[in-house]
């Protein structure tokens, strides 16, 4: 296979992803779908993952590998990475965008709610990173791992998202620890922290009043579009970000400032 690094003499530049083999989870809609499209547009070969074939309907007849897998299930990460390795011939990039957000008032959160968020959002991050890192280590050419966190990791969440916020705080901690572990292998590990993003997940679970209140708190005065988050991911997985690892990229329109 080609080296991870791009030879700029061919005119491709440091942001080109031709020949890169990428897994994108949560790719059926929202941020994950936008990320997968951005990577395909930049020349990557992509394995799109979502919890069911129906969720991947948007990718019908597209030049991608489709894997239907519920990432809250035991050993799902192993199955996803094995399928991607078999179909793509290897793995150079992981973008883990899949997540669940079930808004529940504090006194109504039960064990099932809690476990759903931890399994889907946090546990899957660790094991997908572990399985991809094994492949990248054996390839010997480095790699890129990106996990989507949330502004809730910093704020603690709003409007019934406490379990979600806790899981996303864990994602940021994992990213920092895994980045240190994998740096000797030239595998970068970073977190993208969106604020409000105009997706079905956002609009489907907030009342118009809650959405207006949260939007008013953003200095940019609007939610992000999924494509705006995808462009940041495209940078982070490119050669232009080679020396950046363990970073938490705040893409919140000024909602968070740190």
Q: Identify the three-state secondary structure at position 133.
A: helix
Secondary structure of 65-109 in HEC code, one letter for each residue: EEEECCCCCCCHHHHHHHHHHHHHCCCCEEEECCCCCCCCCHHHC
The residue from 111, 164, 243, 258 that is catalytic is: 164
164 is catalytic: yes
Are 203 and 211 within 8 A, CB to CB? yes
Are 191 and 248 within 8 A, CB to CB? yes
HSE-CB for 238 with a 13 A CA cutoff = 20
**Nearest CA-CA partner of 148 in 29, 230, 45, 235:** 230
Hey, what are 196's tokens?
């409000």
Q: Which residues are catalytic?
A: 164
């Amino acid at each position: 296979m080609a080296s991870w690094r791009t030879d700029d003499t061919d005119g491709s530049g440091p942001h080109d992803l031709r020949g890169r083999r990428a897994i994108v989870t949560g790719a059926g809609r929202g941020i994950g779908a936008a990320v997968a499209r951005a990577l395909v547009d930049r020349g990557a070969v992509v394995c799109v993952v979502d919890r069911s074939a129906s969720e991947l309907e948007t990718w019908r007849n597209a030049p991608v590998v489709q894997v239907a897998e519920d990432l809250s299930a035991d050993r799902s990460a192993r199955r996803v990475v094995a399928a991607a390795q078999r179909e793509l011939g290897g793995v150079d990039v992981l973008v883990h965008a899949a997540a669940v957000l079930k808004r529940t008032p504090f006194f109504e959160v039960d064990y099932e709610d809690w476990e759903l968020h931890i399994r889907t959002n946090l546990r899957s991050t660790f094991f997908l990173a572990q399985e991809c890192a094994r492949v990248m280590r054996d390839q010997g050419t480095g790699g890129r791992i990106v996990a989507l966190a949330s502004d809730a990791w910093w704020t603690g969440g709003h409007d019934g998202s406490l379990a979600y916020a806790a899981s996303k705080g864990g994602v940021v901690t994992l990213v920092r620890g895994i980045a240190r572990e994998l740096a000797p292998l030239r595998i970068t590990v970073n977190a993208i922290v969106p604020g409000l993003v105009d997706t079905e997940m956002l609009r489907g679970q907030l009342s118009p009043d809650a959405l207006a209140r949260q939007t008013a708190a953003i200095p940019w005065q609007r939610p992000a579009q999924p494509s705006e988050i995808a462009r940041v991911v495209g940078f982070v997985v490119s050669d232009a970000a080679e020396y950046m690892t363990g970073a938490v990229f705040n893409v919140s329109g000024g909602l968070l400032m740190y």
